[in-house]
Amino acid sequence: MPNGTDIAYLYDGSVEGLMTCVFESFEKKEIPAAILSPDQDQFVLYDTREIMTDTEKARRVFAGTQKRLGDEAAYLIRMTFLSDREDRALIILRFLHYAFAEGPRAVSRLSHPLVGPLHQAAKTTSNEEHAFNEFLRFSEFNGVLVSVIEPKCFILPLIADHFADRFPSERFFIYDRTHRYALLYDDGRREFTWLDEFEMPEADETEQRFRALWQSFYDTIAIEGRNNPRCRMTHMPKRFWPNMTEFQREKALSEKKQAASLPDVH
């Protein structure tokens, strides 16, 4: 592995941008001290070099990774890039230097300091993806299913597959408030877009009824004699609760009274 330098790379925050940084670092035979994206506006103690994203260079790094290191390495890099690790760009770059020298078996060195962090970060992202497939909640507004999530990792592109497969004939909209990113799905088409702000509309009567029904089911299904708040928190940490229908009660108190029979949809 080349020697470290005192230079910090600045890139545009895209995965192509990062791959261009990797290209640069191999070309110059140097390891940057940091790789910073525009949203990481920290005080930089290093000299900086701006790396302009070059899709052709990025494509070559992608292709080389896949070919020489295999699918798992490509997967680890993608998942690490989507994770919430501050130093994700740098650990990907350092891993690639190590792995290209070591060959495909590098990914099996699970406890190696340059490899282990990628496995851990990928696991974090994958857990986060799974959690939002489970804990995400939709509300229906005028026939569109709408959801707001606040994930730590950038998982919207990952969970899009799951919900598109599950609800092929629905229209749905998911807003990631953490990363200000949104997905609109309509009739098989997916559209991703950056979106600064989004607020949930007022629930209509039908929507309020189903919320009340769900909250009522949620309360009923627990067995009082086995009350176990710690176990619940382990499986479903509190950070998920604010956007989950079963915990949105203040507003729902008045709704509960209104909750009557099911609407006649058919």
Partner 1 sequence: MEVIEKLKILAGAAKYDVACTSSGVDRDGEKGSIGNARSFGLCHSFAADGRCISLLKVLLSNACAYDCSYCVNRRTNDTPRATFTPRELAELMIQFYRRNYIEGLFLSSAVVRNPDYTCEQMLLVLKLVREEYRFRGYIHVKAIPGADSRLIEALGLYADRMSVNLELPSSGSLQLLAPDKSKESILGPMKQIRNGISENRTDLVKYKKTPQFVPAGQSTQMIIGATPETDYQILNLSASLYKKYGLKRVFFSAYMPVVAGGNLPALDSKPPLLREHRLYQADWLLRFYQFDAAEILDERQPNLNPLIDPKCNWALNHMDSFPVEINRADYEMLLRVPGIGVLSAQRIVRARRVSPLGFDDLKKLGVVLKRARFFILCRGKAQEGLETNQAAMMRGLLSKRSLNMIGDGPMDQLSLFNDPVEEDFVKCLTGQI
Name which of 145 and 160 has its Cβ closer to partner 1: 145
* Nearest distance from C-beta of residue 20 to partner 1, angstroms: 30
Name which of 180 and 241 has its Cβ closer to partner 1: 241
> Of 94, 93, 123, 118, nearest to 108 (Cα)?
118
Q: Which residues bind partner 1 (CB under 8 A)?
A: 105, 108-111, 116, 130, 133-140, 145, 147, 164-170, 188, 210, 212-214, 216-232, 234-236, 244-246, 259-262, 265-266
**Burial label, 11 (beta-carbon count in 10 A; 0-12, 13-18, 19+):** buried
* Nearest distance from C-beta of residue 223 to partner 1, angstroms: 5
> Amino acid identity, residue 87?
D
Vertex 233 angle, CA 228 and 236, to 5°: 125
* Nearest distance from C-beta of residue 212 to partner 1, angstroms: 7
Name which of 142 and 227 has its Cβ closer to partner 1: 227
Handedness of CA 14, 17, 21, 26 (dihedral sign): positive
* Cβ-contact 36, 87 below 8 angstroms: no
Radius of gyration from C-alpha coordinates of the chain: 23
* Nearest distance from C-beta of residue 97 to partner 1, angstroms: 18
Name which of 61 and 91 has its Cβ closer to partner 1: 91
Widest distance between CA atoms in the chain: 70
Name which of 132 and 154 has its Cβ closer to partner 1: 132
Q: 3-state SS string over 146-162?
A: EEEECCCCCCHHHHHHH
Name which of 101 and 221 has its Cβ closer to partner 1: 221
* Cβ-contact 129, 158 below 8 angstroms: yes
* Cβ-contact 93, 31 below 8 angstroms: yes
* Nearest distance from C-beta of residue 86 to partner 1, angstroms: 20
Residues in a beta bridge with 36? 10
Name which of 60 and 97 has its Cβ closer to partner 1: 97
* Nearest distance from C-beta of residue 9 to partner 1, angstroms: 28
* Nearest distance from C-beta of residue 99 to partner 1, angstroms: 12
